[in-house]
Amino acid sequence: MKGVSAFLSKKRDLRETAFLFFNLPSYLYMPIQVPSAALSSAMTSVAVAEPMDFCSGDLGGYYNGDREYTDNDQVVINPTLDLEAYANNYKGLAKINRLLFIADRCPPLRNDALQIALTYVQQNTLNWAVYQKIHQKMIQHCGNFSGAPDVASDAQKSGTFNGLSLQYDQTWVDQTMKKGVMKTEKLDTDLKHYKSNSIKESIRRGQDDLGEHYLDMGDVINALKCFSRARDYCTTNKHIIQMCFNVIKVSAYASNWALVTTYVNRAEATPELSQ
């Protein structure tokens, strides 16, 4: 809870905090209205973390929103970023989004970013869909070189290319899909049981558990529904702030900035906790 209190005590606009914490890639290029100072702060923080040179380029679509690049987009060509240390600061979709953003915008770090993202997804999530997207990006990356598609074909046969492991783990995908379905059914059954007993705290926790599970699978829409439904079962200020924090987080992942603003205002209107 200390993290939530610290989040709410920040002086700067909470919308900016949500953008920076959860969805930096979208924050940098989504057509939203933010204070110019906030944008300047965001760009400054990136520059401090990673001195770089830029050039224009078209690197294809981006995972979050399937956005297509234009000639006006910038590419990092001289990074000094410790990628692994940077990635370790994040988890969940925030980590995956940032790594994929780096893979698209920074060719020198592309291989490492894709490999770190793929390994993280397999070891820490049930998000089989994003695993497939990352693997597809790896294959597409092979096709960007002289000799494609022969290079891509040979790379898939050998299982490696420029340090990338291209082996598609169908067993993991099948098992993960099965685990996801089974856990969804269990959590849904538990929630129905809690509702039948009309225990508010259990229902709230059940909604949160189901929301976290959907988020683990990359299903942002259903995660948002579950976290939002927990609102009716909050009995303390602590519960309300945690619910707002969850909705803000998932709304940022979904680039739903209007909802971010709504729940930021709701959280700020909640009396501060004494503990």
Summarised one tens digit per residue, pLDDT across range 173-217 is 999 999 999 999 999 999 999 999 999 999 999 999 999 999 999
Residues 91 and 126 in one domain: yes
Residues 154 and 189 in one domain: no
Q: Of 168, 192, 210, which closes a domain?
A: 168
Any domain includes 190: yes
Could you tell me the residue range of the domain that residue 147 belongs to? 50-168
Residues 60 and 162 in one domain: yes
Any domain includes 151: yes
Q: Of 168, 196, 211, which closes a domain?
A: 168
Of the pLDDT bands very low, low, confident and very high (cuts 50, 70, 90), residue 272 is low
Residues 121 and 224 in one domain: no
Q: How far is CA 225 from CA 182, 185, 215, in A?
A: 20, 16, 11
Residue 157: which H helix or E strand, with range? helix 150-158
Average pLDDT in the 125-151 region? 74
Q: Which of 37-41, 186-190, 247-251 has the lowest mean pLDDT?
A: 37-41
Residues 73 and 145 in one domain: yes
Any domain includes 263: yes
More confident position, 163 or 249: 249
Cα–Cα distance measured from residue 220 to residue 216, given in angstroms and rounded to the nearest whole number: 9
Any domain includes 102: yes
Q: Which pLDDT belongs to residue 16?
A: 45
Q: Of 139, 168, 197, which closes a domain?
A: 168
The model's pTM: 0.70
108 has pLDDT over 60: yes
Mean residue pLDDT across the chain: 74
Tally of domains in the chain: 2
Residues 160 and 57 in one domain: yes
Q: Which pLDDT belongs to residue 79?
A: 85
